[in-house]
Each structure stands twice: as C-alpha cells, then as structure tokens.
C-alpha cells in the first residue's frame, strides 16, 4: 500500500482552480519529485497534504488513514513534516534552538512545558538538546549550533530548516524548493543529503525546478500544469514527454 495517497485532490480560490483532480501516491523509502511551471499548484498541494489548507474536493490518506480535515499538528504528529518555500526560521534564536523547536512537536511536555519549566522537563530538555545536535550533524551544521540562525548563509539556513523538520522524526518529508537560491556547490550538498535521508528510510516529496537535481535524486516525477497532473513517470520519461516540454517552454519568459 502507498504510504501517502492523494485522490482527486482539488482546491479552488474563488474562480481559480489551483489544484484540479490530482492523483498520485508516495512509495515508502522513495523520493518523488513534484514539478511544474510557476503557479502550477505545487505549494498548494503541499498545503493541502500538510493540513494548512482544506481541499475543495478529494482526499489524502496517510498510512491508510484519511487525513483530509485534520489539523497541521495532528498530521505532523502522525509522522508527516514539511518545509516552506519561504524560510520560516527564528532568526534571533540559535541554530540548535531552531532544531529543538522541531523536536517539541513530538516531546511529552511540549514547548509550553519547557517554557514554563514544569517539573520533569529538565531531563527531557537535555535529551531534546542531544537529539537536536544529532540532527544538526545529519545536515553538517553541528559546529554552528550556538550561533543565531540569522548568522548562517542562505544555503545553510535551508539545511537548518531540513534539520528542524527531521527533528520531528517524520516518516514522510515534504520539501518545498529546498534548492531555491542555492549555488552549485550547495545544491550538490543538498543532493547528497537527500540521498542519505533516502538511505535512512525517509519517504520524500520534493518540489524542485532544476531538472538536473530532479534527475539526480528522484525515483518518480509528478508534473503539474495549471493545477492538473499532466505526466507521471521516471525522470527520463517525463523529460522526454511532449506535454511536459511544452508546459516548460510556455514558461520560458520568466527564465525558470
């Protein structure tokens, strides 16, 4: 059975159908890329899956359970975490603290308990900190833990956002354009990280514009255009697909 199943997912904003009857599924332990021109509906699909938006129609099943209608935190607690196209870090908190925030979505006492210093939270806090250091190691930022997050270069902030998402120990990770704004070297590092996460058993849905990156990591590609799925297959298959080529050529004028 698919780990995540998206059935006829639809979202309209007024008269604008941003996501139109989209179907696809995620295989456990695989990387699926979700691609398409600007405004194709990729981020809206993420918002619908992760519970940020309610669909106009259709359903999402995670581990066999219907999650459409559940709140973000309920879906996160089941093991599905996402990152954002626009970074959502706490710039004045340290790098380590940003990862700890991610951990608190699953810890017993939670963020509030920690803030109030309730009894029994001290030891848990220590464990949360230890685990956060481990997550920073995964993305190669363990030496920067005590610095304010805003000190990090942009590419490193993207890695930090992934570390924070990992801190919730998700089975499924949704990454919305993690390579946006990265230089060639940083993109290579990101690709390496994605491969390591896959090797560690994570299931990943990746929004990515750069075809080389997609070709390098994706097992399967789903292509959206004007809200609808126009193709699905291996990276090589979609790259050779006439409809996909046409959709991307039509998008040429803004240079992406």
Ligand X SMILES: Nc1ncnc2c1ncn2[C@@H]1O[C@H](COP(=O)(O)OP(=O)(O)OP(=O)(O)O)[C@@H](O)[C@H]1O
Number of residues that bind Mg ion (CB under 5 A): 3
Q: Is 44 in the site for ligand X (CB under 6 A)?
A: yes
Among the candidate windows 36-44, 121-129, 130-138, 155-163, which touches ligand X by CB under 6 A? 36-44
Residues comprising the chain, all counted? 256
Which one of 35-43, 111-119, 138-146, 162-170 is the stretch in contact with Mg ion (CB under 5 A)?
35-43
145 makes contact with ligand X (CB under 6 A): no
**Of 48 and 139, CB closest to ligand X:** 48
Sheet with strand 220-225: strands edge to edge: 80-82, 172-176, 203-207, 31-35, 220-225, 228-233
Using DSSP bridges, classify how beta strands 57-62 and 4-13 pair: parallel, antiparallel or unpaired. Answer: antiparallel
Note whether 68 binds Mg ion by CB under 5 A.
no
Cα 196 versus chain centre, distance: 15
DSSP bridge pairs for 155: none
- Please say which residue, 37 or 101, places its beta carbon nearer to Mg ion: 37
CB under 8 Å to 178, separation ≥6 — which residues? 83, 158, 161, 162, 190, 206, 208
Site mask for ligand X (CB under 6 A), range 61-90, x = bound: ------------------------x-----
| Contacts to ligand X by CB under 6 A | 13, 16, 18, 36, 38-44, 85
């Amino acid at each position: 059975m698919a780990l995540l199943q998206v059935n006829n997912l639809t979202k309209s904003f007024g008269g604008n159908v941003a996501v139109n009857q989209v179907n696809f599924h995620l295989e456990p332990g695989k990387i699926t890329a979700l691609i398409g021109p600007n405004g194709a509906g990729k981020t809206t699909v993420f918002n619908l899956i992760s519970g940020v938006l309610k669909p106009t129609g259709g359903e999402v099943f995670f581990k066999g359970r219907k999650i459409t209608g559940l709140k973000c935190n309920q879906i996160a607690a089941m093991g599905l975490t996402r990152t954002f196209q626009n970074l959502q870090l706490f710039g004045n908190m340290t790098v380590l603290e940003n990862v700890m925030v991610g951990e608190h979505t699953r810890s017993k006492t939670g963020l509030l308990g920690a803030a109030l210093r309730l009894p029994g939270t001290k030891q848990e806090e220590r464990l949360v900190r230890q685990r956060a250091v481990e997550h920073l190691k995964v993305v190669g930022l363990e030496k920067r833990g005590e610095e304010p997050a805003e000190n990090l270069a942009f590419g490193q902030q993207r890695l930090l956002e992934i570390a924070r998402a990992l801190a919730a120990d998700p089975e499924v990770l949704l990454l919305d354009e993690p390579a946006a704004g990265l230089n060639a070297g940083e993109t290579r590092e990101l690709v390496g990280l994605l491969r390591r996460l896959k090797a560690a058993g994570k299931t990943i849905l990746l929004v990515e514009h750069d075809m080389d990156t997609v070709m390098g990591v994706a097992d399967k590609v789903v292509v959206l255009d004007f809200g609808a799925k126009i193709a699905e297959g291996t990276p090589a298959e979609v790259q050779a697909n006439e409809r996909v080529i046409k959709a991307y050529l039509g998008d040429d004028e803004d240079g992406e």
